[in-house]
Structure 1
Amino acid sequence: MGTLAVVGAGTLVSGDLANPLIEDADTVLCADGVITAVGRSRDLADEVASADRVLNASGATVAPGLIDSHGHVTFGDYSPRQKAVDYLEGYVHGGITRTISAGEVHVPGRPRDREGVKALAVAARASFDRYRPGGMRVHAGNVLLEPTLTAEDFAHLARCGVWLAKFGFGAYEKALDGVDQIRWAKEHGLVVMCHAGGASAAGSASLRAEDLLALDPHVCGHANGGPTSLPAADVERLLTESGMALQIVQAGNLRAGLDIVRRAAEAGALARIVVGSDTPSGFGVMPLAVLKTVVELSALSPVQPAQAWALASGNVAEVWGLPAGRLRVGAEADLVVLDAPRGSAATTALEAMSIGDIPGISAVVTDGVPRFLASRNTPGAMRPATLDR
C-alpha cells in the first residue's frame, strides 16, 4: 500500500462526536492503510516529502469515510432487486467507504432452513472478505435469525468468523420467541440488529417498543422507518428504558428521523444515533443516501454538520467495533475530501451542509489508496483535490 500524505486541508472533521473538529492541523499521513499522523504540514514536512503519494485537498475539508450501517448486499457488486450492477462502486463515489450488511435478504431463493441460514452467512462473509468493490470494505455475512438455530449454531457461526445477526425476518410466531436466539448471538460476540417499525416489502415482522425492549438487541434498525417508522412514544421508551443504538436511514421517514435526533440530543444520547441507507430497497439504488441523510440532519436538526458526520462514521464504528470511522492515529485510512459545490452560497463543505446543499466530493481514499478524483455522483467541488504525486 505504501505511504500517502493528504495535505492542504482547510478543515479536518474527526468523526468523534465529542470533539467533531480537529484544530490546528492540515495534514494526514497514512502508511500501509493506517493513519500514522495528524498535524501541521510544517511539523510533518519530512514525512510529506518522502511519501509515495501526495493528495492535495486544496483548502477543502477532509473527513473519515462514511459507513453505511444498513446495506442490502447479496454477492458481488450486484443488486437482484434493482437489477443493478457496480452499485457499490457508485456508493464509494457518495463517500461511503464501508457497508455493514443488514442481512443478505435479497439473495434469490434465500434459504430458511437451519443449515442453509448458516451457510449463507458464512459464504457471504467469506466472499466479501477479500472482495473490495471500488475499494469499499463490505462487512457481509449477517445471519438472519430463525427459530431453528441453537446455541451451538451461534458458536459454530462465530468460529467461522460471522459476527453480525439480524432479527425480524424469521419464521417466529411472535417476537418474544426470538429472545433466546438473540441472547445466544450476543453471548458469542455477534452484533445484533432488530428490524423495527412496520413490516417492509421484504416480508419482515412489525416490531414495536415492547418487543424491542424484550429482545434487547444492540441496534434498533431503521427506527425512523424501513419505511414505516416507530411511533414517537416508542422511540421515547427506547431512549429512556434501553441502551440500544437507534438507527436513522435515508429509506425511511424524514420527519421521524429528525424527531429521533432531536429527542436524542435533548436526552444527551446522540452517541446512540447511527446512520445507514437501508438500500438497495424499494427506494432503489442511492449512492448519495448516507450523505443525503447527513446533510438533512445538518440543515434541519439540532446537530452541527461535523456532528452529523460523526453519526455516520465514528458512531457506527463505535457500535459495531470497527477500526475506522475516525480521523486519528491508528484508525484505518478511509478518508473523504469534500467542499462546497460549485454555485453554492456556501464557501466550505460544512457551510454547504448547514444550508442543505450536497457537498462536492473530490477524492475518496480507502486503505490509504486514493480511489478517484472527482465523484461521478456529487456536484463538482469548488476546490477540487489534486494528486500531486
Structure 2
Amino acid sequence: MEKFKKRPVTAIKNIGMIFTGDVDEPLIEGPATILMEDGQITAIQKGNIPFNGPTIDAKGMTVCPGFIDSHSHPVFGDFTPRQSQIGFVENGLHGGVTSMISAGEVHLPGRPEDPSGAKALAILAHKSFERFRPSGVKVYGGALILEKGLCEEDFREVSEQGVWLVAEIGLGSVSDIMETKQMVQWARKCGMKVLMHVGGTSALGSLRFTTDDVLAINPDVACHLNSAPTSFPPDEGKRIIEKTDSAIEIVYCGNFLTAFEIAKFMRNSLLLHRLIIGSDAPSGVGVIPLAIWRMVTYMSAMCGIPAEIAICCATGNTQRVFGLRHGKVKEGMPADIQIIDLPSGSHGIDAKSAIESGNIPGIAMVIIDGEIKVNKSLNTPPALRSIE
C-alpha cells in the first residue's frame, strides 16, 4: 500500500459501480474505468479500457465522490479548541470527507464580537485555509459572523478579500430580524452565501430565531433542521421546506427522530435535490470522523432512500448549493474520490447493499485532486477487498 503514496494516479479500472453524486443520474453500473490527468477526471468509460500508465485496480469495488461536510466549525489548521483535539480534519478524511465548509469560526477562544474583529477573523481564516489544506482536505474557512455595527462597506471589504460565506445567522450578536434582513441584503449584493441557525440555543449561546424569522430571511441554507442541538418540531421544519427555496440541512449532531421525519418528508415530496448533510462538528457532541457516513447510512436504511441518492446529499447537492467545482464523479471535475466496498462481516454483496442495510462501507482508498491521501481508512470497518 505504501507504494501509492507519492505515485501519480491516472486510471482506476475494474470499477463495479459508480455513485456519481449527481441526483439526476446517480448511478453508473460497471465494469467501468475512470481516467485522470492533472487532478481532473478526464474520462469515464464503460468496460476496462487498455491503459499503459499507473493504474489502480478497484477489483469490482464501488467509486463515489469524496464527501463535502456542509457544516463544520474549524478555527485554524487541524486543531479544534472545542474539544482540544489535534487532527480532527485528518480523521474526517479517513471518514471519506475531502472538503469541509465552515459555518463560522465560533470556537476561537476570545473570539472578538465587534465589527473589526469579526471581519479580521473571517479574512484570516479564509486566507489561512486557502494556503493550507490539512492532510489535503479542502477547508472553506472564513465565514463572517454577523455582529452589531457591521455596515454595507464591511461586507464589500471582506468580499474583496475573498470571503464568500456568512456564518450561520444566530452565532453573533445581531438578533433583530429587520437588522438581520438588511445585512443579508448587503451580503447577497456581494455574492455571499447565507447560512441560518435553525432550532434551539446551542451550548455556546446561539440566538434562537422562529420559523417565521427563517421564512423572512429565506437563507441559502437552513442549517441543521434537526438540531442546534435542540430541533424545532418536525411540522415547523416542514413549513420551512414548503415555504422557502433554501437548501435543507440535516446533521449528525442533532435529533435523529427529526432527521428521520425531514428526510422521509422530502423523499415523499420529491425534494431530495434540496437536502444536504453536515456534521455540525466539532461541537459539544464531539469530533465524529464518520459523521457523514453515519448520516448517509441512516437516511438510506431508515428512510428508504437508495444509497446512490443518499450520497448525493453529501456530495453533488452540496456542490450545487455552494457553487463548488467538485462534488461529483464527472468528466471535467476534480478527482475527489472514495473507493468503497462491502465491509468485512456485513451481509449483502457490495457497498450499495451494505449502505441500504445501515452498515458503513469499508473505505479502501481516498483520493483528492487525483492524489492518493488514504490507502486504507483507519476509521471505517475494513473493506472486504483491498487495493494492493
Residues 341 and 362, structure 2, Cα contact 8 Å, conserved in 1 = yes
Aligned residue identity for 2:324: L
Aligned residue identity for 2:236: D
Would you say 1:131 and 2:132 are equivalent positions? yes
Aligned residue identity for 1:33: G
1:154 equivalent in structure 2? 155
Residue 52 (structure 2) aligned to one of 46, 49, 54: 49
What SS is found at the alignment partner of 2:224?
Answer: coil
- Alpha-carbon distance between aligned partners in 1 of 2:270 and 2:339, rounded to the nearest angstrom: 30
- Alpha-carbon distance between aligned partners in 2 of 1:321 and 1:345, rounded to the nearest angstrom: 37
Would you say 1:76 and 2:82 are equivalent positions? no
Per-residue CA deviations over 1:9-38 (Å, capped at 9, x if unaligned) read: 111111011211013551111111111111
Residues 124 and 141, structure 1, Cα contact 8 Å, conserved in 2 = yes
Residues 3 and 32, structure 1, Cα contact 8 Å, conserved in 2 = no
The 5-angstrom pairing of residues 161-200 of structure 1 reads 161-166=162-167, 167-200=169-202
- CA apart distance, 1:2: 5.2
Residues 82 and 283, structure 2, Cα contact 8 Å, conserved in 1 = yes
The 5-angstrom pairing of residues 275-286 of structure 1 reads 275-286=277-288
Q: How many equivalent residue pairs?
A: 381
Per-residue CA deviations over 1:259-302 (Å, capped at 9, x if unaligned) read: 11111122221111100000010111100001100010010013
- CA apart distance, 1:222: 0.5
After the TM superposition, list the runs of 4 or more consecutive aligned residues in structure 1 that deviate by more than 2 angstroms.
Answer: 172-177
Residue 14 (structure 1) aligned to one of 9, 20, 45: 20
- Alpha-carbon distance between aligned partners in 1 of 2:322 and 2:359, rounded to the nearest angstrom: 29
- Alpha-carbon distance between aligned partners in 2 of 1:71 and 1:107, rounded to the nearest angstrom: 13
Aligned residue identity for 2:291: A
Aligned residue identity for 2:22: D
Residue 34 (structure 1) aligned to one of 34, 37, 40: 40
Aligned residue identity for 2:56: L
The 5-angstrom pairing of residues 360-379 of structure 1 reads 360-379=362-381
1:317 equivalent in structure 2? 319
1:114 equivalent in structure 2? 115
1:246 equivalent in structure 2? 248
- CA apart distance, 1:209: 1.3
Per-residue CA deviations over 1:319-360 (Å, capped at 9, x if unaligned) read: 000111101011111000111110111221110011111110
Distance 1:9 1:185, change over 3 A: same
Q: Which runs of 5+ in 1 are unaligned?
A: none
CA RMSD of superposed structures (Å): 1.3
What SS is found at the alignment partner of 2:207?
Answer: coil
- Alpha-carbon distance between aligned partners in 1 of 2:30 and 2:289, rounded to the nearest angstrom: 32
Per-residue CA deviations over 1:29-87 (Å, capped at 9, x if unaligned) read: 11111111111344x42xx313xx32221111100101000011000100101010011
2:3 equivalent in structure 1? none
- Alpha-carbon distance between aligned partners in 1 of 2:294 and 2:221, rounded to the nearest angstrom: 21
Aligned residue identity for 1:145: L
Residues 361 and 381, structure 1, Cα contact 8 Å, conserved in 2 = yes
Shifted more, 18-27 versus 65-74: the winner is 18-27
- CA apart distance, 1:176: 3.7
Residues 80 and 106, structure 1, Cα contact 8 Å, conserved in 2 = yes
What SS is found at the alignment partner of 2:338?
Answer: strand
Residues 147 and 178, structure 1, Cα contact 8 Å, conserved in 2 = no
- Alpha-carbon distance between aligned partners in 1 of 2:35 and 2:232, rounded to the nearest angstrom: 43
The 5-angstrom pairing of residues 227-306 of structure 1 reads 227-306=229-308
Residue identity over aligned pairs, in percent, reads: 40
Residue 361 (structure 2) aligned to one of 354, 359, 362: 359
Per-residue CA deviations over 1:206-248 (Å, capped at 9, x if unaligned) read: 1221010112210001011021112222112112211001101
Residues 224 and 252, structure 1, Cα contact 8 Å, conserved in 2 = yes
1:340 equivalent in structure 2? 342
Residues 2 and 31, structure 1, Cα contact 8 Å, conserved in 2 = no
TM (normalized to structure 2)? 0.96
Aligned residue identity for 1:124: A
What SS is found at the alignment partner of 1:49?
Answer: coil
TM (normalized to structure 1)? 0.95
- Alpha-carbon distance between aligned partners in 2 of 1:327 and 1:19, rounded to the nearest angstrom: 11
Residues 175 and 207, structure 2, Cα contact 8 Å, conserved in 1 = no
Aligned residue identity for 1:347: I
- Alpha-carbon distance between aligned partners in 2 of 1:33 and 1:168, rounded to the nearest angstrom: 38
- Alpha-carbon distance between aligned partners in 1 of 2:256 and 2:271, rounded to the nearest angstrom: 19
